[in-house]
Structure 1
Amino acid sequence: MAEAVRARRGKGRSDDHRSGDRLFDRKLDHLPPEARWREWMHRVEATIFAASEPVTREVLARVVGKNCSIDLLIDDIREELHGRPYDLVAVAGGWKHLTRPAYADAIRAAVGGSGKTAGLTQLEVLVLMCIGYFQPITRAELSSFFGKEISRDFIGHLRGAGLIASGPRSPTAGAPYTYVTTKEFLLEFGLDTLRDLPDFEALEDAGLLSKDKLLTGDIMPDFSAGQ
């Protein structure tokens, strides 16, 4: 008897949720076009503002409907944010409110460093960069790049920060683990996808990175403080 009552109560809550979802007006056909668009903009911005993680296109479609252009809404919101110290940025497969780089020093002065990358050494950043460009990559290959051993503890630190994860086993002898970057890596470095990494040839042309130096372990003069 008690189980039947709980079942009916549970069913009622489920029905209420579905009913509430049906009652939520996404189309807003009763509003004039300009007012309808403005309300959609507000819904999108509020949803992104309230979220702790990047908000995907699929999530935003829940508040404006699948036939509404999310990209155009984002463009109009960003236009209104022009001149503000923050923006809506495409990152890690969704959109997120982020402060503009010009205010990084002011934020650090007020609250100190933020994010996982704030405490990374130069070597850790360079190892992450190599994994980003050459993934999946083994620890031995990373050690070869840098001309010194990249220890298991070193890799474990980057994994513990959520910036890398284990990839497929390498087809080389012993089938060692490979490593790949994560969604958290994209978020921390402000990238939407790995395609947004700076073009390797452009970095070489700018003198910021040399593949030959990577392969010979001559990328930086001193890593003594790296591990």
Structure 2
Amino acid sequence: MATVTRHPRADRNQHLRIVEAILFATAEPVETAHLKTFLPEGTDVAGLLADLQANYANRGVNLVEVAGKWLFRTADDLSYLLRRDKVEERKLSKAAMETLAIIAYHQPVTRAEIEDIRGVAISKGTLDQLLEIGWVRMRGRRKTPGRPVTYGTTDAFLSHFGLNEVADLPGLQELKGAGLLDANLPPGFDIPLPRAGDGLLPDEDPLDGTETEQLPLEMHLPEASEEQGGEQP
């Protein structure tokens, strides 16, 4: 009986097909570790993903990495083709957008720290909205008196804004170049470097399961910006 000799190139092509099939068949983004379970030990999965990404670079769908996971996504310049005539939109308030930005750049951050940075109290509804959307999560509890809850962003936040990690958030010069910051900023003004990672920091304790019950205790008066059309200094 003749022996069939498999060439490395043939094996690699088959591995590419396997990775491609898994990514197409899975509804959620796929971790590299999950892909490795379908391939022989020692397979260069990172190289396979790089090859697939290059192969799909100029096609109608692209292979992208979001929050450390891989998925096929409609090419940015063709996304308008898939928009429905009726799209349910939830417009975030200015307070919610500011709060989200503070959490993204300063995480892990407590409610009191958010208010200190904004210079105005935030209503409970503002954080509730961000938690409901799924862009913000409770991380842990600060190791300070009162053990306040700390907040951070989620993978859904990264996916929505097309980021692989929070370190990819735009810096000072990028924000100024996009016209999102005044060109004449105060001396010494800077944008904090976002800290990546889901693990708790040394000054954080794990959540204890009572956070939902304690939310009403953290309620503040409605924000002046939402009720009166302006903010208190």
TM-score by length of 1: 0.69
Amino acid at match of 1:70: V
Q: Which residue is equivalent to 1:90?
A: 65
- Separation in 2 of the partners of 1:111 and 1:64? 42
Q: Deviations over 1:127-153 (max 9, x none)?
A: 222211101112233234334432112
Structure 1 stretches lacking a partner, 5+ long: 1-28, 216-222
Q: Which residue of 1 aligns with 2:99?
A: 127
Tell me the CA shift for residue 168 of structure 1. Answer: 2.9
CA RMSD of superposed structures (Å): 3.2
- Among all aligned residue pairs of Structure 1 and Structure 2, give the percentage whose two residues are the same amino acid: 31
Cα distance, 1:41–1:120 mapped onto 2, change above 3 Å: farther
Which is higher, the Rg of structure 1 or of structure 2? 1
In the TM superposition, 1:20-169 aligns within 5 A as: 31-108=6-83, 110=84, 112-113=86-87, 119-121=90-92, 123=94, 124-169=96-141
Judged with a 3 Å threshold, the aligned counterparts in structure 2 of structure 1 residues 57 and 199 are, in CA distance, closer, same or farther, namely same
Aligned in 2, Cα 1:125/1:50: closer, same or farther, shift over 3 Å?
A: farther
The answer as to whether partners of 2:172 and 2:190 remain within 8 angstroms in 1 is: no
1:27-49 C-alpha deviation (Å, 9 max, x unpaired): xx953222211111111111111
Structure 2, unmatched stretches of 5+, are 192-224
| Equivalent position to 1:194, from 163, 166, 171 | 166
Q: Deviations over 1:35-73 (max 9, x none)?
A: 211111111111111112211111111122331111211
Indicate how the Cα distance of structure 1 residues 39 and 65 shifts in structure 2: closer, same or farther if over 3 A, else same.
Answer: same
Contact 1:146 1:214 in 2 (8 A): no
- Would the aligned equivalents of 1:54 and 1:96 in 2 still touch at CA under 8 Å? yes
Query: Counterpart in 1 of 2:154?
Result: 182
SS at match of 1:131: helix
- Aligned CA distance change for structure 1 residues 148 and 43 (closer, same or farther; 3 Å): same
Question: Does the Cα contact within 8 Å between 1:145 and 1:214 map onto a contact in 2?
Answer: no
Are the structure 2 counterparts of residues 76 and 135 from structure 1 closer, same or farther at C-alpha, using a change threshold of 3 Å?
A: same
Partner of 1:15 in structure 2? none
Query: SS of the counterpart of 2:38?
Result: helix
Q: 1:100 to 1:112 in 2, by over 3 A?
A: farther
Structure 1 stretch displaced more, 193-202 or 90-99 = 193-202
**Relative to 1, partners in 2 of residues 1:47 and 1:152: Cα closer, same or farther, differing over 3 Å?**
same
* Residue 183 (structure 1) shift: 2.1
TM-score by length of 2: 0.67
Aligned residues: 188
Aligned with 1:64: secondary structure? coil
Determine which structure has the larger helix proportion and give its number.
1
CA deviations over 1:6-39 (Å, ceiling 9, x no partner): xxxxxxxxxxxxxxxxxxxxxxx95322221111
1:173 CA displacement: 5.0
Q: 1:149 is aligned with what amino acid?
A: A
Instruction: Report SS of the residue matched to 2:71.
Output: strand
